[in-house]
């Protein structure tokens, strides 16, 4: 681990619409607001915060995290329910991986109940809205420090 820990926060499809559409489900904060929350609780750790609508780009970024990150936080959005490729990419990592959802998919439609990410993750945070990102950064820092 470098002196300044690096935490990568990756966001999947449609999350660029946060704060703009469906605020009753996903809240009023934008992704930029959430990024600011992550940086604020990161205690000096370097936060790399990204969003893409493309599955292959997420895979590329997960592979990049293998080289450059001390922990990965991933909101895979709908790809969590569909992507074996995401699962396979995550399985190559040795750093802590936190799966994150704003809503609680287990309390929503049946098609959201399965996640290909959960079985490749260290832990899952779901249902706490934007605050979940802060919890995830804190959990990532805790794990990084524990591992030395």
Distance CA 13, CA 20 (A): 14
> Residues with catalytic annotation?
26, 101
- The residue (of 38 and 144) whose beta carbon lies closer to ligand CA2 is 38
Q: Least distance in Å: CB of 37 to ligand CA2?
A: 15
> Which chain residues interact with ligand CA2 by CB under 6 A?
14-15, 17-18, 21-22, 26, 75, 77-78, 101-103, 105, 112
Could you tell me the smallest distance in angstroms from the CB atom of residue 103 to ligand CA2? 3
Give the C-alpha separation, 144 to 11, whole Å. Answer: 21
The span from the CA of 136 to the CA of 123, in Å, is 9
The distance of closest approach from Cβ of residue 123 to ligand CA2 in the complex, given in angstroms and rounded to an integer, is 15
For ligand CA2, the closer CB: 102 or 139: 102
Q: In angstroms, how far is CA 130 from the centroid of its own chain?
A: 12
| Torsion over CA: 54, 37, 130, 146 (sign) | positive
**Local structure of 125: helix, strand or coil:** strand
Whichever of 70 and 99 has its CB closer to ligand CA2, that residue is: 99
Alpha-carbon span 7 to 35, nearest angstrom:
12
């Amino acid at each position: 681990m470098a002196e300044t820990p690096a935490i990568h926060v990756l966001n999947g499809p449609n999350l660029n619409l946060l704060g703009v559409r469906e605020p009753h489900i996903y809240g009023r904060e934008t992704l930029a607001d959430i990024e600011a929350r992550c940086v604020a609780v990161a205690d000096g750790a370097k936060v790399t915060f990204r969003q893409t609508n493309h599955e292959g780009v997420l895979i590329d970024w997960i592979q990049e995290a293998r080289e450059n990150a001390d922990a990965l936080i991933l909101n895979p959005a709908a790809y969590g329910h569909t992507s074996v490729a995401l699962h396979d990419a995550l399985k190559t990592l040795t750093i802590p991986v936190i799966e994150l959802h704003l809503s609680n998919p287990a309390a929503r439609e049946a098609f959201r109940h399965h996640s290909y990410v959960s079985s490749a993750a260290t832990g899952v945070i779901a249902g706490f809205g934007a605050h979940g990102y802060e919890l995830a950064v804190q959990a990532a820092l805790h794990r990084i420090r524990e591992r030395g």
